[in-house]
Amino acid sequence: MKELGSYLSQKRLEAGLSQRNVSDHLGYSTPQFVSNWERGVSHPPIGQIKSLAKLYKIDAEEVFKILLKETLKEVEADLRQRFEVVK
């Protein structure tokens, strides 16, 4: 989730917003949620992507594509580990 986190952090800063601004706008009680997304600890809920995109003035589809790409990488890594497949 590092690529998505870096992207969201960059776009938030370009929009002139703090993590607190974003968390308040989305109805979270703490900016820790936004921090976790940007550090790659977690990702925003799918239902929040359009709201984030609107707030950051970016294309929601672009955010979705990055999230999809990273999710597929994680699933592949998990499956490789489970089945002990070596490239």
Cβ neighbours of residue 66 closer than 8 Å, sequence gap 6 or more: 3, 4, 7
Residues 55, 26: Cα–Cα separation, whole Å: 9
Mean pLDDT of the chain: 93
Residue 38's pLDDT band, with cuts at 50, 70 and 90, is very high
Q: Is the pLDDT score of 87 beyond 80?
A: no
